[in-house]
């Protein structure tokens, strides 16, 4: 049976970089956030999401106003939980279909931003946590998302502390210098072959 390797990390840690290293090595990689965004573009899902909010969260093009939704759920845990309860089962079903298509591989990577927070690690055979010093993470996100330092720190402070994630992770990749990151991924790849 194909093993599921969960890949996660806080904002700006470099999950995508590590996911791409695995892709380059021929390992199938499922990016849960990307798939969730695609699912949220389905007409029936747009309607279901709108029902969760009193405010209008559909833009003039009939698509979900992701920025508006983000602002609402960032300050409203209840709404965030309701949104997750709606979207997560759909992503899970989509992943299961994807997994069937990759059944010939000994293992696949499932990249999930909030893997430990949603207990997703319990459904994985092993987990990889990507970490980086907080200053580097802040700089990366400021550059990538054009956010202020305060905005990035607010997001980081709202996420599960890295120390807690480290305790739950099977492997930890310190993603500061690319060359070192690559070497760590190579070592993990060898270990995963014997899972």
CA-based nearest residue to 136, from 1, 9, 4, 7: 9
Residue 158 Cα distances to 55, 74, 146, 153, 170, angstroms? 24, 9, 19, 8, 23
Find the helix or strand (DSSP H, E) in which 41 lies.
Answer: none
List, as one string, the DSSP characters of 92-111: HHHHHHHHHHTTTSSEEEEE
13 among annotated binding-site residues: yes
165 among annotated binding-site residues: no
For residues 141 and 147, the answer to whether their CB atoms sit within 8 Å is yes
180 among annotated binding-site residues: no
15 among annotated binding-site residues: yes
6 among annotated binding-site residues: no
23 among annotated binding-site residues: no
Our CA angle for 44, 50, 95, nearest 5°, is 50
Our CA angle for 14, 20, 25, nearest 5°, is 135
Q: Which positions make up the binding site for ATP? A: 12-17
Q: Which positions make up the binding site? A: 12-17
């Amino acid at each position: 049976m194909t093993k599921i390797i969960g890949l996660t990390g806080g904002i700006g840690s470099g999950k995508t970089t590590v996911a791409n290293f695995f892709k380059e090595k021929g390992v199938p990689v499922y990016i849960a956030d990307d798939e969730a965004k695609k699912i949220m573009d389905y007409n029936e899902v747009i309607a279901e999401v709108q029902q969760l909010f009193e405010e209008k969260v559909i833009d003039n093009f009939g698509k979900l106003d992701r920025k508006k939704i983000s602002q609402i759920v960032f300050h409203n845990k209840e709404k965030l939980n309701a949104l997750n309860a709606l979207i997560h089962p759909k992503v899970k079903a989509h992943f299961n279909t994807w997994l069937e298509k990759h059944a010939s591989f000994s293992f696949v990577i499932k990249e999930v931003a909030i893997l430990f927070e949603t207990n997703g690690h319990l459904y994985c055979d092993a987990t990889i946590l990507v970490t980086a010093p907080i200053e580097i993470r802040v700089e990366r996100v400021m550059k990538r998302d054009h956010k202020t330092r305060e905005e990035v720190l607010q997001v980081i402070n709202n996420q599960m502390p890295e120390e807690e994630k480290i305790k739950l992770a099977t492997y930890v990749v310190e993603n500061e210098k690319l060359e070192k990151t690559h070497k760590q991924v190579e070592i993990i790849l060898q270990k995963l072959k014997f899972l």
